[in-house]
């Protein structure tokens, strides 16, 4: 289970894994247009890593820019703002396992009246030779590997959940091995009309990063975000998470 905060302007990504509830959204969690307390118990074997994390969080609170928050435990994603950060590195404690621990609290303010959704590779549909593989860099330890041309991964917004008419962003966390130019397409389709609504191509790097595509959704559209490998070039694209989030 993973909680991610991402600031596009500064390109800062904070990934907090919490197999033992080390980081969590306090109850009742994210709600449209509401504030959600975030309680973190950050662990690191090197004290300087905790110091860096706190500085990154402070930059997020000062940037004034919308942040992407992804909680793959609940499948919820949202744009919003992080504020009221409390966490003094000088108060960190040492555990018997020689880990440093620091309690951190903050508030995440959802900026939309509708929550977005996020799906991991194992929750999506794979086609064209795409397979799910183990990947230590992926949030859930598994990613979709796209090694052949037209290999793709997608998920469908449930048929009983028509999205409100609004502007949305598709977010994709991905990387590749050979850095082939424009080898990834982020596309959005209308399932009922089998029509492409919007698409863009991206050139990736060897480290996981976020890529995005904006679109407008009308009430008549059933949305299907799809991530596809474009070329025959030798290159394996790894897709970790796909999120669809209202602006």
Please tell me what DSSP assigns to residue 129: T
pLDDT for res 192: 73
One CATH from 2.60.120.260, 1.10.101.10, 3.40.30.10, 3.40.640.10 for 119-246: 2.60.120.260
pTM for this predicted structure: 0.87
Stretch(es) of the chain classified as CATH 2.60.120.260: 119-246
Q: 44-50, long-range: CB within 8 Å, 24+ apart, which pairs?
A: 44/99, 44/100, 45/98, 45/99, 45/100, 46/100, 47/89, 47/92, 47/100, 49/100, 50/89, 50/92, 50/100, 50/102
Looking at domain 2-113, which CATH architecture does it have? Beta Barrel (2.40)
| Closest alpha carbon to 166 in 214, 108, 211 | 214
- Widest Cα–Cα separation across the chain: 59
pLDDT for res 20: 37
Encoded tokens for 171 = 């977010």
pLDDT for res 16: 74
Residues of the chain where predicted confidence (pLDDT) is lower than 70 = 1, 17-29, 40-44, 88-92, 94-98, 158-162, 193-194, 219-221
Helices (H), ranges, the chain: 47-63
pLDDT for res 227: 97
pLDDT for res 22: 42
Stretch(es) of the chain classified as CATH 2.40.30: 2-113
């Amino acid at each position: 289970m993973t909680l991610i905060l991402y600031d596009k302007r500064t390109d800062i990504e904070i990934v907090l894994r919490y197999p033992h509830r080390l980081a969590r959204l306090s109850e009742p969690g994210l709600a449209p247009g509401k504030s959600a307390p975030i309680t973190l118990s950050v662990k690191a074997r090197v004290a300087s890593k905790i110091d860096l994390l706190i500085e990154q969080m402070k930059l997020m609170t000062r940037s004034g820019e919308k942040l992407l928050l992804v909680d793959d435990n609940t499948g919820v994603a949202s744009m919003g703002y992080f504020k009221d950060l409390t966490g003094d590195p000088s108060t960190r404690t040492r555990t018997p396992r020689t880990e440093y621990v620091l309690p951190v609290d903050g508030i995440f303010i959802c900026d939309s009246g509708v929550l977005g959704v996020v799906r991991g590779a194992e929750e999506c549909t794979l086609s064209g030779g795409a397979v799910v593989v183990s990947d230590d860099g992926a949030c859930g330890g598994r990613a979709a590997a796209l090694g052949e041309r037209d290999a793709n991964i997608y998920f469908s917004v449930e048929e009983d959940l028509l999205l409100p008419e609004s502007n949305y962003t598709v977010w994709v966390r991905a990387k590749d091995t050979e850095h082939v130019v424009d080898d990834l397409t982020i596309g959005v389709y209308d399932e009922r009309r089998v029509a492409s609504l919007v698409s863009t191509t991206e050139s990736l790097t060897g480290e996981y990063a976020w890529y995005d595509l904006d679109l407008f959704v009308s009430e008549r559209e059933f949305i299907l975000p799809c991530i596809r490998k474009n070329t025959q070039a030798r290159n394996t694209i790894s897709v970790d998470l796909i999120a669809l989030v209202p602006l």
